[in-house]
Amino acid sequence: MNDSQPPPTKVAILFVCMGNICRSPVARAVFERLTATHGLADRYDVDSCGTSAWHVGHPADPRSVLVAADHGLNLTHTARKLDPATDFQRFRWLIGMDGANVATMLDLGAPPSNVSLLRSFDPDLMTRPDSELEVPDPYYGGPDGFEKMYTMISTACEGLLGATRG
Protein backbone atom coordinates (compact mmCIF):
# COMPACT_ATOMS: atom_id res chain seq x y z
CA MET A 1 0.00 0.00 0.00
CA ASN A 2 1.37 3.44 -0.84
CA ASP A 3 1.01 6.45 1.43
CA SER A 4 -1.73 8.06 -0.68
CA GLN A 5 -4.19 5.22 -0.11
CA PRO A 6 -6.50 5.41 2.92
CA PRO A 7 -6.29 2.56 5.41
CA PRO A 8 -8.80 -0.22 4.79
CA THR A 9 -12.15 0.17 6.51
CA LYS A 10 -12.73 -2.20 9.38
CA VAL A 11 -15.63 -4.63 9.33
CA ALA A 12 -17.88 -3.34 12.11
CA ILE A 13 -20.00 -5.90 13.95
CA LEU A 14 -22.33 -5.29 16.90
CA PHE A 15 -23.73 -8.27 18.82
CA VAL A 16 -27.08 -7.46 20.45
CA CYS A 17 -29.14 -9.23 23.12
CA MET A 18 -31.60 -7.96 25.72
CA GLY A 19 -29.46 -7.10 28.75
CA ASN A 20 -25.88 -7.38 27.41
CA ILE A 21 -24.76 -9.67 30.22
CA CYS A 22 -25.21 -13.19 28.80
CA ARG A 23 -25.38 -13.82 25.06
CA SER A 24 -23.94 -10.78 23.31
CA PRO A 25 -20.77 -10.45 25.46
CA VAL A 26 -20.04 -14.14 24.89
CA ALA A 27 -20.60 -13.69 21.15
CA ARG A 28 -18.21 -10.74 21.13
CA ALA A 29 -15.53 -12.70 23.00
CA VAL A 30 -15.91 -15.75 20.76
CA PHE A 31 -15.75 -13.64 17.60
CA GLU A 32 -12.74 -11.66 18.81
CA ARG A 33 -10.90 -14.90 19.53
CA LEU A 34 -11.76 -16.19 16.04
CA THR A 35 -10.43 -13.05 14.38
CA ALA A 36 -7.25 -13.21 16.48
CA THR A 37 -6.74 -16.90 15.68
CA HIS A 38 -7.00 -16.14 11.95
CA GLY A 39 -4.74 -13.07 12.17
CA LEU A 40 -7.65 -10.76 11.33
CA ALA A 41 -8.23 -8.89 14.59
CA ASP A 42 -6.98 -5.59 13.15
CA ARG A 43 -9.60 -5.80 10.37
CA TYR A 44 -12.59 -5.85 12.73
CA ASP A 45 -14.37 -3.41 15.05
CA VAL A 46 -16.46 -5.60 17.37
CA ASP A 47 -18.73 -4.64 20.27
CA SER A 48 -21.86 -5.80 22.08
CA CYS A 49 -24.85 -4.15 23.70
CA GLY A 50 -28.37 -4.75 24.99
CA THR A 51 -31.71 -3.44 23.86
CA SER A 52 -32.67 -2.68 27.48
CA ALA A 53 -30.95 -0.63 30.16
CA TRP A 54 -31.52 -3.12 33.00
CA HIS A 55 -27.88 -4.08 33.42
CA VAL A 56 -26.01 -1.01 32.16
CA GLY A 57 -22.67 -0.74 33.93
CA HIS A 58 -22.77 -4.30 35.26
CA PRO A 59 -20.27 -7.03 34.44
CA ALA A 60 -21.26 -10.11 32.47
CA ASP A 61 -23.43 -12.66 34.24
CA PRO A 62 -21.17 -14.94 36.33
CA ARG A 63 -22.54 -17.97 34.46
CA SER A 64 -21.46 -16.44 31.15
CA VAL A 65 -18.04 -15.70 32.63
CA LEU A 66 -17.82 -19.33 33.78
CA VAL A 67 -18.84 -20.89 30.46
CA ALA A 68 -16.44 -18.58 28.64
CA ALA A 69 -13.62 -19.60 31.02
CA ASP A 70 -14.49 -23.26 30.46
CA HIS A 71 -13.74 -22.61 26.79
CA GLY A 72 -10.54 -20.64 27.35
CA LEU A 73 -11.98 -17.13 27.16
CA ASN A 74 -11.45 -14.36 29.70
CA LEU A 75 -14.77 -12.51 29.62
CA THR A 76 -14.24 -9.01 30.96
CA HIS A 77 -17.19 -6.85 30.09
CA THR A 78 -19.31 -3.88 31.13
CA ALA A 79 -22.91 -3.88 29.87
CA ARG A 80 -24.19 -1.00 27.79
CA LYS A 81 -27.46 -0.16 26.06
CA LEU A 82 -27.90 0.10 22.30
CA ASP A 83 -27.55 3.69 21.08
CA PRO A 84 -29.35 3.98 17.74
CA ALA A 85 -27.87 7.42 17.05
CA THR A 86 -24.31 6.11 17.00
CA ASP A 87 -24.51 2.31 16.72
CA PHE A 88 -26.52 2.27 13.50
CA GLN A 89 -23.91 4.53 11.91
CA ARG A 90 -20.82 2.78 13.28
CA PHE A 91 -21.80 -0.86 12.69
CA ARG A 92 -22.59 -2.40 9.31
CA TRP A 93 -23.44 -5.78 10.86
CA LEU A 94 -26.12 -5.63 13.58
CA ILE A 95 -26.36 -9.19 14.89
CA GLY A 96 -29.30 -10.05 17.14
CA MET A 97 -29.54 -13.11 19.33
CA ASP A 98 -33.31 -13.48 18.97
CA GLY A 99 -36.32 -12.13 17.11
CA ALA A 100 -37.14 -9.62 19.83
CA ASN A 101 -33.66 -8.09 19.54
CA VAL A 102 -34.03 -7.85 15.77
CA ALA A 103 -37.52 -6.32 16.04
CA THR A 104 -36.30 -3.73 18.54
CA MET A 105 -33.41 -2.69 16.29
CA LEU A 106 -35.72 -2.38 13.30
CA ASP A 107 -38.29 -0.41 15.35
CA LEU A 108 -35.51 1.98 16.37
CA GLY A 109 -34.58 2.61 12.73
CA ALA A 110 -31.80 0.15 11.96
CA PRO A 111 -31.34 -0.39 8.22
CA PRO A 112 -33.04 -3.78 7.60
CA SER A 113 -30.22 -4.89 5.31
CA ASN A 114 -27.77 -4.56 8.23
CA VAL A 115 -29.76 -6.64 10.74
CA SER A 116 -29.42 -10.43 11.03
CA LEU A 117 -29.90 -13.19 13.53
CA LEU A 118 -26.57 -14.67 14.61
CA ARG A 119 -27.60 -18.25 13.91
CA SER A 120 -28.48 -17.37 10.32
CA PHE A 121 -24.71 -17.71 9.79
CA ASP A 122 -24.62 -21.29 11.12
CA PRO A 123 -23.87 -23.33 7.98
CA ASP A 124 -26.20 -26.13 9.12
CA LEU A 125 -29.15 -23.79 9.66
CA MET A 126 -29.00 -21.35 6.75
CA THR A 127 -32.22 -22.63 5.15
CA ARG A 128 -34.22 -22.67 8.38
CA PRO A 129 -36.90 -20.06 9.16
CA ASP A 130 -35.96 -17.22 11.51
CA SER A 131 -38.09 -18.78 14.26
CA GLU A 132 -35.55 -21.63 14.46
CA LEU A 133 -32.49 -19.36 14.47
CA GLU A 134 -32.67 -17.84 17.93
CA VAL A 135 -30.06 -18.16 20.66
CA PRO A 136 -32.35 -18.65 23.68
CA ASP A 137 -31.70 -16.38 26.65
CA PRO A 138 -30.23 -18.61 29.38
CA TYR A 139 -30.67 -16.03 32.15
CA TYR A 140 -33.49 -17.81 34.03
CA GLY A 141 -32.10 -21.31 33.51
CA GLY A 142 -29.26 -23.43 34.77
CA PRO A 143 -25.67 -24.05 33.64
CA ASP A 144 -26.71 -26.35 30.78
CA GLY A 145 -28.47 -23.42 29.11
CA PHE A 146 -25.24 -21.42 29.16
CA GLU A 147 -23.29 -24.29 27.62
CA LYS A 148 -25.92 -24.67 24.87
CA MET A 149 -25.77 -20.91 24.32
CA TYR A 150 -21.99 -21.07 23.96
CA THR A 151 -22.16 -23.92 21.43
CA MET A 152 -24.77 -22.10 19.31
CA ILE A 153 -22.78 -18.87 19.39
CA SER A 154 -19.47 -20.52 18.61
CA THR A 155 -20.76 -22.36 15.54
CA ALA A 156 -22.58 -19.31 14.21
CA CYS A 157 -19.60 -16.99 14.78
CA GLU A 158 -17.45 -19.21 12.56
CA GLY A 159 -20.03 -18.76 9.79
CA LEU A 160 -20.19 -15.02 10.44
CA LEU A 161 -16.43 -14.74 10.14
CA GLY A 162 -16.60 -16.52 6.79
CA ALA A 163 -19.38 -14.20 5.61
CA THR A 164 -17.53 -11.02 6.60
CA ARG A 165 -13.93 -11.86 5.69
CA GLY A 166 -14.27 -10.51 2.19
CATH number of the domain that 16 lies in? 3.40.50.2300
57 in any annotated domain:
yes
pLDDT of residue 125: 96
107 a catalytic residue: no
Residue 4 inside a domain? The answer is no
State the chain's mean pLDDT as an integer: 95
Contact between 152 and 122 (Cβ < 8 Å): yes
Residues 49-70 have a mean pLDDT of: 97
| Domain span at 27 | 11-164
Query: Is residue 104 assigned to a domain?
Result: yes
Query: Looking at 47, 61, 122, 137, which residue is catalytic?
Result: 137
Tell me whether residue 49 is one of the annotated catalytic residues: no
Q: Which of 17, 22, 49, 157 is catalytic?
A: 17
The count of domains in the chain is: 1
Q: What is the mean pLDDT of residues 95-121?
A: 98
The 10s digit of each residue's pLDDT in 122-140 is: 999 989 999 999 999 999 9
Rounded to 5°, angle at Cα 61 from 60 and 63: 125
For 82-100, write each residue's pLDDT tens digit.
Answer: 999 999 999 999 999 999 9
Catalytic-residue membership of 157:
no
